[in-house]
Amino acid sequence: MRVAALYDVHGNLPALEAVLEEAADYRPDLIIFGGDVASGLLPVETLDLLMTLEDVRFVRGNADRALVEMYDQERKSDGLADEWVVAQITPRHRDFLDAFETKVVADGTLYCHATPHDDEPIFTRLSLDERVRRLIGYVEHDLVVCGHTHMQFDRTVYGIRVVNAGSVGMPYGTTEACWALVEDGEVDLRRTWYDLEAAAERLRRSGHSQAKTLVAENVLTSPSEEEAIGFFEELAARPDAP
């Protein structure tokens, strides 16, 4: 079974379109979206496209969950559930997001957002094996594909292969759209080039008050992997970290 694993689109429709076009060349049997699909500059357009796709499954990310909770007035804006994004979506979009699965198992591989048991914990390619194994918890599968931290890696921790598919719409360490192709237990970490200037022009027209800044910092450029790892490892070291 051939699976295209697309994570962390974050409302970057041009990046998503480019990855879907390239992924189609590999004729995947299934596309799995690993969470955080809409929180970004083109949430409605991204969701509308996702809702037309066939042979897909959706894993819930922490930002997807936050959008639903804020739409339902169960939480306030905290950066994950941007008030502007929530104001764009309709009940149809809300129900679509709310139906996402906490994890997906396909052809013996477990797909989750952050970990199989929680959509928020942070670990990177440099996190200690002991921490990663504790966060992964009990699983029956030898291969776990995750996202959440927007950087690709492939490591084996106490016999469990843990692969981060990277981010389609907001990658760190590159401006290319990152994803993974999984087949028979093998993983090909992919990066897709797309026209950043054309994408930036579309995204700037979103109507978001911070569109120009967000495009400049997260599309036309991106934080280095070293910067991102340092930030995430600092968060993970806090006493209240999951």
CA 134 from chain centre, in angstroms, equals 22
Kindly indicate the confidence band of residue 94, based on its pLDDT and cuts at 50, 70 and 90.
Answer: very high
Kindly indicate the confidence band of residue 197, based on its pLDDT and cuts at 50, 70 and 90.
Answer: very high
Kindly indicate the confidence band of residue 81, based on its pLDDT and cuts at 50, 70 and 90.
Answer: low
Specify if 94 maps to a domain.
yes
- Is residue 80 predicted with pLDDT exceeding 70? no
What tokens appear for 213 in the block? 């800044």
pLDDT tens digits, one per residue of 7-47: 999 999 999 999 999 999 999 999 999 999 999 999 999 99
Long-range contacts of 87-96 (CB under 8 A, 24+ apart): 88/43, 88/44, 89/38, 89/43, 89/44, 89/47, 90/44, 93/38, 93/43, 93/44, 93/47, 94/67, 94/68, 96/47, 96/50, 96/51
Residue % of the chain over a pLDDT of 90:
92
Specify if 182 maps to a domain.
yes
Alpha-carbon torsion 205, 206, 210, 215, what sign? negative
Q: What is the CATH number of the domain that holds 68?
A: 3.60.21.10
Specify if 147 maps to a domain.
yes
User: Which structural domain range is residue 25 located in?
Assistant: 2-236
What tokens appear for 76 in the block? 């306030």
Q: What is the pLDDT of residue 78?
A: 67
- Is residue 236 predicted with pLDDT exceeding 90? no
Specify if 241 maps to a domain.
no
What mean pLDDT is predicted for residues 211-234? Answer: 96
Q: What is the pLDDT of residue 193?
A: 98
CB-based burial, 192-208: b 16+ in 10 Å, e otherwise: bebebeebbebbbebeb
What mean pLDDT is predicted for residues 107-135? Answer: 97
Q: What is the pLDDT of residue 241?
A: 75
What mean pLDDT is predicted for residues 188-212? Answer: 97
Asked if residues 231 and 126 have their Cβ atoms less than 8 Å apart, the reply is: no
Mean pLDDT rounded to a whole number for the chain: 95
Q: What is the pLDDT of residue 79?
A: 59
Specify if 242 maps to a domain.
no
- Separation CA 4–CA 34 (nearest Å): 10
How many independent structural domains does the chain possess? 1
Q: What φ, ψ does residue 38 adopt, rounded to 5°?
A: -110, -25
What tokens appear for 101 in the block? 């699965």
Specify if 20 maps to a domain.
yes
Q: What is the pLDDT of residue 233?
A: 94
